[in-house]
Amino acid sequence: MKSDSKRTTKRRINRTLKYALLIFFVIIVLLPAYVLFITSFKGTADADPSRAWYLPQVWETGGWVKAWTTLAPSLGRTVLLVVPSAIVSAFLGSINGYVLSKWKFPGANIVFTLILFGMFIPYQAVMIPLTQLVSNLGVPQGVPSLMLLHIVYGLPICTLIFRNYYATVPDELIEAARMDGAGILRTYGSVILPVSMPGFVVVLIWQFTSAWNDYLFAAFFSSGRNGPVTIALSFLAGGQLTDYAASMAGALIASVPTLIVYILLGKYFVGGLMSGSVKG
Partner 1 sequence: MLKRAKTWGPGVLLLAPTIILVGVFVYWLIIENFRVSLTNQHTAKPSNKYVGFENYTNLLADPNFQHSLWNLLILTIVFLGGTLIFGFLWAWILEQPAKGEGFFRSVYLFPMSVSFIASGVVWRWLLSSLQTSQPGGERTTGLNRLLDSVGLGALQNDWWSNPTWGIAAIAVPAIWQLSGYVMALFLAGFRGIPDELREAARIDGCTEWKLYRHVIFPQLSPVMLSAVIIIGHMSLKLFDLIRAIVPDANTYDVQVPATMMWVKYIGSDYADAAAIGTILLVLVALVVIPYLWYTSRAEKR
Q: Does 92 bind partner 1 (CB under 8 A)?
A: yes
Q: Does 193 bind partner 1 (CB under 8 A)?
A: no
Q: Does 72 bind partner 1 (CB under 8 A)?
A: no
Q: Does 113 bind partner 1 (CB under 8 A)?
A: yes
Q: Does 185 bind partner 1 (CB under 8 A)?
A: yes
CA angle, 76 as apex, 43 and 91 as ends, to 5°?
A: 135
Q: Does 83 bind partner 1 (CB under 8 A)?
A: no
Burial 95-108 (b: 16+ CB within 10 A, else e): bbbbbbbbeeeeee
Query: What whole-number distance in Å separates Cα of residue 175 and Cα of residue 181?
Result: 10
Which residue among 157, 234, 243, 275 contacts partner 1 (CB under 8 A)?
Answer: 234
Identify which of residues 141 and 258 has a Cβ nearer to partner 1 in the complex: 258
Identify which of residues 1 and 55 has a Cβ nearer to partner 1 in the complex: 55
In terms of Cα–Cα distance, which of 207, 211, 210 is closest to 90? 207
Q: Which stretch binds partner 1 (CB under 8 A): 5-13, 69-77, 118-126, 195-203?
A: 118-126
Which residue among 128, 176, 195, 264 contacts partner 1 (CB under 8 A)?
Answer: 128
CA angle, 220 as apex, 259 and 129 as ends, to 5°?
A: 130
CB of 183 to partner 1, least distance (A): 7
CB 222 within 8 A of CB 231: yes
Note the helical H segments in 139-243.
143-166, 171-179, 184-187, 197-213, 216-221, 229-237
Q: Rule CB under 8 A: which of 202-231 touch partner 1? A: 209, 212-216, 219-220, 230
Query: What whole-number distance in Å separates Cα of residue 255 and Cα of residue 234?
Result: 13
The sign of the CA dihedral 126, 132, 138, 139 is positive
Identify which of residues 35 and 83 has a Cβ nearer to partner 1 in the complex: 35
Q: Does 114 bind partner 1 (CB under 8 A)?
A: yes
Which residue among 123, 141, 182, 201 contacts partner 1 (CB under 8 A)?
Answer: 123
Q: Which stretch binds partner 1 (CB under 8 A): 2-10, 106-114, 139-147, 189-197?
A: 106-114
CB 67 within 8 A of CB 236: yes
